[in-house]
Amino acid sequence: MAVYTDVSAAGLSEYLARYDIGTLVSFHGIAEGVENSNFLVQTTGGTFILTLYEKRVDPTDLPFFIGLMQHLAAGGISCPQPVAMRDGETLGVLAGRPCAMVTFLPGVSVRRPSAANCGQLGEAMAKLHLAGQGFAITRRNALSVSGWRPLFETAGARTDTVHPGLAATIAEELADLEAHWPADLPAGVIHADLFPDNAFFLDEALSGIIDFYFACNDLLAYDVAVCLNAWCFEADGAFNATKGRALLAGYQSVRPLETAEIEALPRLARGAALRFLLTRLVDWLNVPEGALVRPKDPLEYLKKLRFHRAVDSARDYGIAAAAGADA
């Protein structure tokens, strides 16, 4: 939760004049987004979200993020849609920060997704993968397999202060994934951070997907693996196969997975678990003394990683036996 940059009503009013969306009625900094400052802005023309991009966002990535939301919205995906200024621009500068105004999506995120929610999420993710095809800009996934070792080196000798033996587990896993990471699977634009707080539901239906600031080009099935981790484990650490089955069935109802993708799923899930284990580990070790915000527990992802290491095949995730598109 964060609002890093202070915006004045006078500054915002002046900025709004570049748009054709009416005049300022109210605005409130909202406690969402770890990387950027977000404001809920009401004008005489409607409700919008204004995002100010903070230091951790590379400004050269912004055309990818903004263009992607436009491309996906044009392809029928319910996601925040960048609002164009009178001169056609979608990126501006306010309070010294690059910024964009996007449409406001109704809906609420669910903390404990049901199996039905998982099915809806799977379906929406597959639609997103299809809609992403043809998007002209590309963005490398800096947090895929080649980015994990540098992260691990950042944590270094302090790793075992978080959990005894953690460094050895990560080293072993990393070596295996680096040697055997799948290469020839279908790739495209993935969300890469599609956690329950980035999906909105309204009246029992999925109403939208938000926060595309980790989106990139990578293996489509890796996105599925990220979601199996983020949506299908219970608070006690147990994998809920009913939710896994629902998520995969929802996905395959739109885009059937290829046999090679299904076979790779356990390894992709281990990689996805390692990715969040590593970023959480680094955040955990770098939390300032006395900080009010407690970082997310890296060990949650150690447990998930252990589960995937014990998995025999994608059947353990609840995938139907001969569901592959080419099976």
Tokens for 168, please give them. Answer: 């050895």
Least separation in angstroms between residue 30's CB and a copy of itself is 4
How far is 54 from 59, CA to CA, in rounded Å? 9
Give the binding site for a copy of itself (CB under 8 A): 1-3, 8-10, 12, 23-32, 40, 42, 104-112, 200-203, 288-293
Quote the Cα angle for 316-210-129, to 5°: 55
Tokens for 169, please give them. Answer: 């587990």
Q: Which is nearer to a copy of itself, 55 or 112 (CB)?
A: 112
Least separation in angstroms between residue 105's CB and a copy of itself is 8
Q: Which is nearer to a copy of itself, 289 or 312 (CB)?
A: 289
CA torsion angle for 166, 242, 128, 201 (degrees, to 10)?
-100
Q: Which is nearer to a copy of itself, 106 or 134 (CB)?
A: 106
Q: Which is nearer to a copy of itself, 109 or 169 (CB)?
A: 109
How far is 63 from 68, CA to CA, in rounded Å? 8
Least separation in angstroms between residue 257's CB and a copy of itself is 30
Least separation in angstroms between residue 81's CB and a copy of itself is 16
Least separation in angstroms between residue 219's CB and a copy of itself is 31
Least separation in angstroms between residue 290's CB and a copy of itself is 4
Which sign, positive or negative, has the C-alpha torsion 55, 60, 63, 68? Answer: negative
Tokens for 146, please give them. Answer: 């080649």
H helix runs in the chain, sequence order? 9-16, 62-74, 115-132, 145-155, 159-162, 166-180, 220-231, 241-254, 259-285, 299-309
Q: Which is nearer to a copy of itself, 3 or 273 (CB)?
A: 3
Q: Which is nearer to a copy of itself, 32 or 316 (CB)?
A: 32
Residues in the chain, total:
327
